[in-house]
Amino acid sequence: MAGFGHGTRGYPRSRGRTWSRTGPDRATLGIIGAICAVAGFFALGIVLGPVAIFCGWQSMGRSWSGERNVPALVALVLGAIDTLLAAMALTGAAAWGNGLL
C-alpha cells in the first residue's frame, strides 16, 4: 500500500535527484566558451574573453577537481589570455605613446 492514492509508478526517480533540463549542458557551454575565446582574438576581446572564462568555468562545474573536458579548459585558458591581451591593448592605447597596436 503506497498510501492515499499516490502509487510509486508515477515517480520512478526520487524528487531530490531530478534537475531542470532547460539550460545548456556542460559540453555545450564548453564549446560556446571555446568559440568565444577564439573569436575574441579577432574582435571584441575585452567582451568575449570574460564570456569565454565564464562559460569555461561553468562548464567545469565551478571547481578545479574532478574530470575536465577539453573545450572547457581551452575556453578558460584562451579566455584569460584574450582578456589579458585586450586589457594590455586598452592601457597601451590610453598611454602617452602610440600604444601596442
Report the run of H or E that residue 55 belongs to, with start and end. Answer: helix 45-59
Residue 101 reports pLDDT greater than 80 = no
Determine which of 46-55, 60-69, 90-99 has the lowest per-residue pLDDT on average: 90-99
**Helix, strand, coil percentages for the chain (3-state, nearest 5):** 55, 0, 45
Question: For residue 90, with 0-12 CB atoms within 10 Å meaning exposed, 13-18 middle and 19 or more buried, which class applies?
Answer: middle
pLDDT surpasses 90 at 15: no
Q: How would you classify residue 61: left for phi > 0, otherwise alpha for psi between -120 and 50, otherwise beta?
A: left
pLDDT in tens, 76-89: 999 999 999 999 88
Q: Write out pLDDT tens, residues 24-45.
A: 788 888 899 999 999 999 988 8
- Prediction pTM value: 0.68
Which one, of 43, 72, 44, lies nearest residue 60 by Cα?
A: 72
Residue in 90, 12, 78 with CA at minimum distance from that of residue 41: 78
Alpha-carbon gap, residue 93 to 83, rounded angstroms: 15
* Percent with pLDDT over 70 in the chain: 66
